[in-house]
Structure 1
């Protein structure tokens, strides 16, 4: 826990201007380091949610299938080992609350705010949502409720606009959230001192250490877009169908070649996703050049990935293709996405 706290102190101290909760830590019995750690994590959650939603919303026309997305990130008090600390630092009054709201999203337009407690979805109380679904068995116990709530919200949005009962400042309200289609994927920060990013077909995960390495949101978007591309191109399903070994033996033979093919596709698609969302695609060149020079070993030298110089060449090639095109309604139809046909 102490190492995780150190990871966030500098970032949180720079961005959160002298939060009263940190100043009052002696009265509440919590250390300022622990408070700032959670606030720093929430800040990273907000960034990944904002950038991720911008990417999936801007590229909605090219994604098949689409799902309704709100730009809302929820969290559950059970996720936090020290629940009293989380309630104090993050203002969680109930069980499930709003953790982040993406700008220009249905959640923002509905008037949802960070710290709002979610009481019910279309009249179904949060505490009545079943947690015994076999699909939840793979989730750690502390994440089963939030997974079930997100699933219930997705199902409700698939049928149309959704009414949420919320609690804010002791007052209960009802807000209606528009069902708006976007590309599928969720986004999250995983607490880790390793610089890493991954995609499992449904969720894009960026490690806290990697998130702190980015110089700006465009670099952040470059890595999120790469992982999002894996999900949109259904690479996990494709590799599973090919019986690809993702473990140690995946670094050799046919498995390595097939994984490398997906990495090349994700690199190529990523800059198109960035450009359509208004992020400078040259940020991918800048980021991977800097990262490659500083950390050119490890996964960057694995047989499943191009070396960083070759990756940068791919980005440059794709950016040149876009430069030679006339955008359609301000967007560049990505060649690799079925919806661009």
Structure 2
């Protein structure tokens, strides 16, 4: 019994590696399709709860700006990654001026916090860099990858339980994967990958790639520039990120040297008036 379990576990790891858009090997124990299904349910619950608590913005001008810029990025995403054409692209506009954040789940479901605009005074190109980065997490299947990391941890615990003939340890691991998937951040490697893909996405959409550098200069000044040392965070420190992005911008500019704007793909912006 133990040998069979171990063999299945090892086989799972050997056959579950796929390649990201940058050529990086990814551990994928959860299919991208399954991650999209799970993300949809979590997103609808989260946004519905925000709406019920009056946490969605009613700023129509900002909603239009978000829809236009994000729509151009989505047009490029669909062109470059045809598998995303059927995604339910949407952005929840969260009314929170103190939070500098944005995210994108598997399947193209996003959220943007008004604090990004309030605190950083973003240009369109800088906002495009943010959304390009977040959309790239979804395009590169980072949600499924993060869930797979959680499952890998759980498989390890279950294996230990099986080897020790401890049924409580094995049974206790059953619900661990779902919890870890919510708690685990993207890896530092995934963050750098999203930087590269997002910069390329924004450039193809018609936005100045140098905005990636000015964006992270602003990010570094949030809260006086205070942040944990780089080794304590999965996100690269702003000054190191700026240097890497400056190098990427030189190459990315060749993708769209005239800065021609991409068409705007319809993106649903969820606000206080338009809720799911």
Which band: TM-score by shorter chain?
A: 0.5 to 0.7
Decide whether the 8 Å contact of 2:147 with 2:181 is kept in 1: no
- Shift in Å at residue 307 of structure 1? 0.3
Decide whether the 8 Å contact of 2:137 with 2:194 is kept in 1: yes
1:46 aligned partner: 64
1:198 aligned partner: 103
Q: Counterparts in 2 of 1:58-137, with a 5 A limit?
A: 58-67=76-85
- Larger helix proportion, structure 1 or 2? 2
Correspondence for 2:207 among 263, 268, 279: 279
TM-score (norm 2): 0.54
Correspondence for 2:190 among 245, 257, 262: 262
Equivalenced residues, count? 172
Greater relative CO, 1 or 2 (CA 8 Å, sep 6+) = 2
2:89 aligned partner: 185
Correspondence for 1:240 among 123, 138, 147: 147
1:293 aligned partner: 221
Correspondence for 1:306 among 224, 236, 244: 236
Decide whether the 8 Å contact of 1:214 with 1:220 is kept in 2: no
Give distance in 2, aligned partners of 1:65 and 1:329. Answer: 28
- Larger strand proportion, structure 1 or 2? 1
Deviations 1:55-105 (A, max 9, x none): 11134321130325xxxxxxxxxxxxxxxxxxxxxxxxxxxxxxxxxxxxx
- Residues 1:321 and 2:227 are matched in the alignment: no
1:207 aligned partner: 113
Decide whether the 8 Å contact of 1:65 with 1:184 is kept in 2: no
TM-score (norm 1): 0.45
Give distance in 2, aligned partners of 1:299 and 1:198. Answer: 21
Unaligned residue ranges in structure 1 (runs of 5+): 1-36, 69-182, 251-255, 332-341
**3-state SS of 1:242 partner:** helix
Decide whether the 8 Å contact of 1:285 with 1:312 is kept in 2: yes
